[in-house]
Structure 1
């Protein structure tokens, strides 16, 4: 599957697959695959490795089951932790969907694709 990424100026440093020291916190990016653009809002994800695992899955798969399985496969054994991966579809949002404060935990990653109605949440349950 041909994958094309379109990143904003704030995301250029994260374009390489090597993790950056700064995390892509609170940045809206556009990822293009299959001629379709999706917006991604990074609410919480200070660990760039976690973010890239989720981004890759969102670029490759369309259903929540496939996205969830892909993230689970990628995250298994990461940092010798046990991880909870949850991917959900939603039809409406009753909360403010702008990224907020308190986004420093290395054990959390919360990424939303609002136009797709998809949320991916990853949390370390044992680390």
Structure 2
């Protein structure tokens, strides 16, 4: 019969019922309702504040440090890495840092949430979010 993964380990965050907590989903272009419908059920379950944002020109590996290594070695557009977008690594680092820091400041009541789109991050696109405010 072989090894089977227990059902609890197969569940992802978007499979779970209401998180009831503020939640930020910052994703690459592969996670849109048209391309990857698996993320959409999350928003229908939520009673708390959430934002689903995508970064134009990014892909899955841009949220790790792989793009930094590619840029560092002068290999932009010369790798076989399929999950690396066109966004410049230092720019991606800035975007992730800005949004994560702002999210925590917002959750702690220390600052307002960012309006999307905005001049500081025109590549960040609003996909979905709650009307609920903290």
Instruction: Please say whether Structure 1 and Structure 2 have the same fold, judged by a TM-score greater than 0.5.
Output: no
Q: Which of the pair is proportionally richer in strand?
A: 1
Structure possessing the higher radius of gyration over alpha carbons: 2
TM-score, normalised to structure 2, is 0.25
**Structure that is richer in helix per residue:** 2
Instruction: Give TM-score, length-normalised by structure 1.
Output: 0.26
